[in-house]
Amino acid sequence: MNEFWSTLRELPGAFAWPWWLCALPLPWLARRLLPPRRSASAALKVAFGDRLDAISAPGGGGSSGGISVFAWLAWGLLCLAAARPQQLGPAIAPPQAGRDMMLAVDLSGSMSEEDMTLGDSVVDRLTAAKAVLADFLDRRAGDRIALLVFGQRAYTLTPLTLDRDAVREQLRDAVVGLAGRETAIGDAIGLAVKRLRGQPAEQRVVILLTDGVNTAGALTPMKAAELAKNEGVRVHTIAFGGEGGLSVFGFRLPGTGEDEIDEATLQAVAKTTGGRFFRARDTESLSGIYAEIDALEPVQRPGQRVRPRIERYPWPLAGAVALALLGFAAPLRRPA
């Protein structure tokens, strides 16, 4: 029996409490099985009593037939409303759940170095990083993303938000030197940790892109890494930059560049916090790194689409009330 009711509840457009439909015959059963009410008061006996009994009996020539129809219909609708009829609504998917991710981008003076290729053009490091980051943002639906930039100081341009377009716009408007010409890697990590501190654990991620050495700020990168470790923040570090050097009419002069990225410190920061270290020497390798980070920090995809049940009991309930009122009003409208 329990399986029968469970199957009935699972039918499309079915009832939440279908057992209430068993109450439909109760008035009829009560009328058939219960003894008639006998009055103890004195009664007037007349010679044509049999005819009066026939008139007052069910189906007789009295006026109770119309009222009983309203009563039966009202009772049926009332039982229908009690069974809670439901209708399946349109299918919806639960929202995606992702990470609280902080993008920390270096805007120091060295990011203006034109040693990157984007398409057929030679561009500076920041322009190349912007192009790759924009593609990365397109794949992070469900993440709350913040944008932090740093040079001599660190600043949060965009707080944690699901609005990736806002992050993309702020990134597009960022320019070299906006936060100073030096590089404060430690302060950038420290500020990111501070902004992520109040977010759910195991969801806090920092992706730090830099092309230099820590030359400014109050925190050393390793001290900031310890703070990140204590707060459960993973820091993925990306050392980004080509060979550098001088260029003439778009052609690079060999032997004029010098790699000044502190890879050892960036590796130590990533290892301390449980993150990964990456080295990108061109736009293609940087794009591959962000694709790898995308796999390391997956976004939880939506679950199975579900169809919510919409309650429809107000309609039969309103019908029952209306029929009950009509049943009471019908005898009042008959002429005396």
Backbone angles phi, psi at 247, to 5 degrees: -135, 145
The verdict on 59 and 137 lying in the same domain is: no
Q: Which two tokens stand for residue 170?
A: 């702020």
Give the range of the structural domain holding residue 73, as residue numbers without chain letter. Answer: 2-28+53-89+309-332
Q: Give the C-alpha separation, 276 to 66, whole Å.
A: 83
DSSP string, 234-252: EEEEEEE------EETTEE
Region of 241 on the Ramachandran plot (φ > 0 left; ψ -120 to 50 alpha; else beta)? left
The verdict on 320 and 178 lying in the same domain is: no
Q: Give the C-alpha separation, 110 to 129, whole Å.
A: 13
112: nearest Cα among 241, 250, 287, 216: 241
Q: Which two tokens stand for residue 5?
A: 């009711």
Nearest 10 degrees: CA dihedral of 212, 217, 221, 223? Answer: 170
The verdict on 19 and 104 lying in the same domain is: no
197 Cβ contact list (under 8 Å, min separation 6)? 231
What is residue 227's predicted lDDT score, i.e. its pLDDT?
94
Q: At what angle do helices 64-82 and 26-33 cross, to 10 degrees?
A: 130
What is residue 62's predicted lDDT score, i.e. its pLDDT?
43
What is residue 254's predicted lDDT score, i.e. its pLDDT?
47
112: nearest Cα among 147, 151, 148, 168: 151
Residues of the chain where predicted confidence (pLDDT) is lower than 70: 1-13, 37-68, 93-98, 201-202, 242-259, 298-306, 330-336
The residue type of 221 is P
Q: Which two tokens stand for residue 190?
A: 């420290």
- Give the CATH number of the domain where residue 174 resides: 3.40.50.410
User: How many structural domains is the chain composed of?
Assistant: 2
Q: What is the DSSP letter of 231?
A: T
Q: Give the C-alpha separation, 185 to 112, whole Å.
A: 17
The verdict on 83 and 185 lying in the same domain is: no
Burial class (CB in 10 A: 0-12, 13-18, 19+), 148: buried
User: Is residue 192 assigned to a domain?
Assistant: yes
The verdict on 149 and 190 lying in the same domain is: yes
User: Is residue 254 assigned to a domain?
Assistant: yes
The residue type of 289 is I
Q: Which two tokens stand for residue 106?
A: 């270096």
The verdict on 274 and 203 lying in the same domain is: yes
100-106 and 144-150 as β-strands: parallel, antiparallel, unpaired? Answer: parallel
167-185 residue pLDDT tens: 999 999 999 988 888 999 9
The verdict on 6 and 134 lying in the same domain is: no
User: Is residue 304 assigned to a domain?
Assistant: no
The SS3 of residue 270 is: helix
Q: What is the DSSP letter of 299?
A: P
Half-sphere exposure for 320 (CA within 13 Å, toward CB):
15
The SS3 of residue 160 is: strand
User: Is residue 152 assigned to a domain?
Assistant: yes
User: Is residue 197 assigned to a domain?
Assistant: yes
User: Is residue 303 assigned to a domain?
Assistant: no
The SS3 of residue 34 is: coil
Direct distance between the N- and C-terminal alpha carbons of the chain, in angstroms, rounded to an integer? 53
The verdict on 127 and 11 lying in the same domain is: no
Q: Which two tokens stand for residue 225?
A: 């890494």
What is residue 57's predicted lDDT score, i.e. its pLDDT?
54
The verdict on 252 and 323 lying in the same domain is: no
Bridge partners of 311, per DSSP, are 86
User: Is residue 66 assigned to a domain?
Assistant: yes
The SS3 of residue 331 is: helix
The verdict on 134 and 202 lying in the same domain is: yes
119-139 residue pLDDT tens: 788 888 999 999 888 888 888
The verdict on 13 and 117 lying in the same domain is: no
User: Is residue 38 assigned to a domain?
Assistant: no
209: nearest Cα among 314, 104, 126: 104
121-123 and 116-118 as β-strands: parallel, antiparallel, unpaired? Answer: antiparallel
Burial class (CB in 10 A: 0-12, 13-18, 19+), 271: middle
The verdict on 110 and 82 lying in the same domain is: no
